[in-house]
A and B are shown apart, each in its own frame.
Chain A
Amino acid sequence: MSKYRKLFAALALGLCLAAPAYAGTFGLGRPALPEEIAAWDVDVAPDGTGLPEGSGDVFTGEEVFAEYCAICHGDFAEGVDNWPKLAGGDGTLADKDPLKTVGSYWPYLSTVWDYVNRSMPFGNAQSLEPDDVYAIVAYILYSNDIVDDEFTLSHENFLDVDMPNAEGFIVDDRETAEAHFWTDEPCMSDCKETVEITMRAAVLDVTPEETGTDAEGGSPAVQEAAVETEEAVEETVALDPEMIESGKKVFKKCKSCHQVGEGAKHRTGPALNGIVGADAGAVEGFKYSKALKAAAEEGLVWTDEEMAAFLAKPTAYLKGTQMSFAGLKKQDDIDAVIVYLKSFGS
């Protein structure tokens, strides 16, 4: 009853207010089940809250890291291309170009465990078992010279690890350190004697060029694309559109490393136009693993069957492949993604 009275009062007083004036609860939603909370509440706090039981040693970590992480982060966590470096940079934080890594920068070990567990590997998140995560984190610590090669990390010794930059952070102090920016009445005239240009962006010249703005340059490209589409339609006439559509969905798992279609470029993995039926290791301009080059020399061709076997478990099919993807478990998914790839030529 009191709830209604409150509501009435709020309505009477607050009709013109922008904010909703309802007090109390609405009875919407439903209680979350323990299994549901367990499935989603996986974050780990600095004091170790949320860590599951388990352990992993540096040696195992090196193997797991090589399989799942090294393609982007390098065998020694040194980083490939623009992908993050995870090791090194000790003592560089005050330098002109600091190198921020787990060892040189990250204040809490819990963050490493939480992030690897929740969001890595890139493109196949939440696929690692707790022991694998402990092992990977142990290896990253080892790569940063924080532990020795005999080390085993577990939920029991987790808080014993000293992170080198743990004391390197202060809470936002702008309101005191930058109190002089609250000047209220800034200078309006004769604020400085001289003004000289001291640096120009044009000198660096790193700004992307304008794209596709002139009609002359645009038209031929559009025509070309139209021609390509026509050809593609002819070739793909026998492919089941539903299979292509479901293959497109499956391909999302591949997209973090591979591009396919018009304008596809090499990323972590090669561009895949026309890959089904093609000779292995033959996509121009891509640097293949030794394992794949060897297979190519032996005459491997990406027939439907070979491709299906590869996609089921890449590392088992081709030991030493850079493709650190766990594999597609469902045969339907494998079939669909192959049809999808064929829709871009075969």
Chain B
Amino acid sequence: MSDSSRGKAPSRRQFLSGAAAVGVGAVGAGAARAASPDPLITQEQEWAQTTGEGVDATPYGLPIEFEKDVVRRNVEWLTADTISSINFTPIHALDGTITPQGCAFERHHSGAIELSKADYRLMINGLVDTPLVFTYEDLERFPRENRVYFCECAANTGMEWAGSQLNGAQFTHGMIHNMEYSGVPLRTLLEEAGLKPEGKWVYVEGADASSNGRSIPMEKALDDVLVAFKANGEALRKEHGYPVRLVVPGWEGNMWIKWLRRVEVTDMAIESREETSKYTDTLEDGTSRKWTWVMDAKSVVTSPSPQSPITHGPGPLVITGLAWSGRGAITGVDVSVDGGKNWMPARLAAPGTDKALTRFYLDHNWDGSEMLLQARAKDSTGYVQPSKDQLRDVRGENSIYHNNCIQTWWVKESGEAENVEVS
């Protein structure tokens, strides 16, 4: 008999009902002796006797059924409709730094459209010597780069400004993904058309009904912006802009135009809907910051966390999470288990790289008492991730966007965790 719950992360509900059963025998962990032989070992199992699936059973592989709860999730009450809405990456259940495309968050303004490579056109116009039209095939003939970058929605953690609200790292910090992109530098395409010296901005827009137009200063456009057509080695997914999207490293996700169809060189910002009425940050006195493009340094403990409670009792515990900065590389992450009184340097799984996610670990010996877990990121510019109060002192509670505060998880003696704020 196979056990269909094997390998499945516990849901919060299951966890609560099964709390008494977990952790039994874990005290004095490691050397604990089994009371009776484990039938999974002593009895022949079905999978060890019969055969499994042949090749081609799934021409494009999907995660095994035991992982079916590791999926994007939506918070229905946030938006009027799923067509102009957002969902969240299950960061609480992932490890490493690369986000699989199939569970990377989606944000659409008029739905994920289906645009084939054959129907794809990219226009460069405005203040250029020769306005040009490229086909998809044309783009694949330019020299290409491979780069890993995070893409974070400016509204990530935006529901938490006024206090703890959503109970899970997926919901508080899941508007982020991190992929390896293959594409052509935007600079190459602009130079192909011939930039006129009056061109100070590019206005970029998508082929979908929303267009989601955004203005990007020329300095950035010529620096590290990519016109990408592959992510993690394969074609972009429809929901991420197939066949071509813009990659704007370190800057808010709204600028990463999906289904990119036009790049216009202009002498001023267009001040579109997405850069005036939205993606501007209102301060306490009612004035608003605009052009807040860069994403500040930020980190979060992904496990343990409300959706990823401790199920094994005291003893060795892997505390892990993600850190990133739009201004450069992560140089260090500190972790606190006492709500920020004392901090311990975490171990970075690999040295931080420019504008990409960094995985950190704190290999902890948990004594079974409650913890107020926090992580604090530092980046290569010397920026240190602020507390929520530090942020609110400058910005008030109505910014919506760019909330990069230190997050607190209250891990209880039972191992269950909750999103809280601390003094």
Contacts and interface: CB of A to CB of B under 8 A. Distances in A.
A268 B144 CA distance: 44
A173 B138 CA distance: 40
A63 to B, nearest CB: 23
Contacts, number: 282
A340 interface: no
B171 A37 contact: no
A196 B408 CA distance: 12
Chain B contact-residue range equals 35 or more
A213 B145 CA distance: 40
Contacts of A22: 143
B276 interface: yes
Contact of B192 (A29, A45, A189): A29
Interface string A258-273: 0000000001100000
A197 B421 contact: yes
B273 A32 contact: no
Given A198-B423, A199-B420, A172 B211 contact: no
B11 A215 contact: no
B8 A98 contact: no
Interface string B75-105: 1110111011000000000000000000000
Contacts of A37: 123, 125, 131
Contact of B398 (A98, A215, A268): A98
B14 A214 contact: yes
Contact of B390 (A108, A181, A190, A200): A181
B265 to A, nearest CB: 11
A190 B342 contact: yes
A223 interface: no
A8 to B, nearest CB: 16
A285 B142 CA distance: 55
A202 B418 contact: yes
Given A82-B79, A169-B287, A200-B420, A207 B168 contact: yes
Given A31-B130, A43-B270, A182 B382 contact: yes
Contact of A189 (B133, B276, B343): B343
A259 B381 CA distance: 49
A25 B195 CA distance: 12
B123 A45 contact: no
Contacts of A111: 271-273, 276-277
Interface stretch (A118-126, A130-138, A153-161, A314-322): A118-126
B363 to A, nearest CB: 18
B264 interface: yes
B315 interface: no
A63 B4 CA distance: 59
A192 B272 contact: no
Given A174-B292, A200-B410, A215-B5, A105 B277 contact: yes
Nearest to A119: B210
Contact of A108 (B109, B134, B192, B276): B276
A256 B261 CA distance: 22
A186 interface: yes
Interface in A90-112: 93-94, 96-98, 100, 102, 105-108, 110-111
Interface string A168-204: 1111111001100111101111111011111111101
Nearest to B290: A169
Contacts of A178: 386, 394
A256 B110 contact: yes
Contacts of B123: 32, 36-37, 40-41
Given A26-B192, A31-B131, A37-B131, A169 B394 contact: no
Contacts of A40: 123, 125, 261-262
B330 to A, nearest CB: 14
A188 B343 contact: yes
Given A25-B192, A45-B270, A255-B111, A36 B133 contact: yes
Nearest to B159: A206
B59 interface: no
B334 interface: yes
A333 interface: no
Contacts of A114: 213, 270, 272-273
Contacts of A126: 209
Given A31-B131, A36-B123, A195-B338, A110 B271 contact: yes
A174 to B, nearest CB: 7
B282 A93 contact: yes
B116 interface: no
Given A114-B270, A122-B110, A197-B420, A172 B293 contact: yes
A106 B278 CA distance: 9
Contacts of A169: 276, 280, 287-290
A198 to B, nearest CB: 5
Contacts of B340: 191-192, 195
Given A195-B338, A199-B163, A256 B418 contact: no
B25 to A, nearest CB: 25
Interface of B: 4-5, 8, 11-14, 68-69, 73-77, 79-81, 83-84, 109-111, 123-126, 130-135, 138, 141-146, 163-168, 171, 185, 188, 191-194, 203, 205, 209-211, 213, 261-262, 264, 266, 268-273, 276-277, 280, 282, 284-294, 296, 306-307, 334, 338-343, 372, 376, 378, 381-386, 390, 394, 397-398, 410, 418-423
15 contacts: A29-B133, A32-B123, A44-B270, A98-B282, A118-B213, A170-B288, A171-B289, A174-B289, A181-B383, A196-B423, A201-B164, A201-B306, A206-B75, A207-B167, A213-B68
Given A19-B185, A184-B382, A201-B420, 14 more contacts: A28-B134, A29-B132, A32-B125, A41-B125, A106-B276, A115-B273, A125-B210, A172-B289, A183-B384, A191-B340, A191-B343, A197-B421, A204-B164, A207-B171
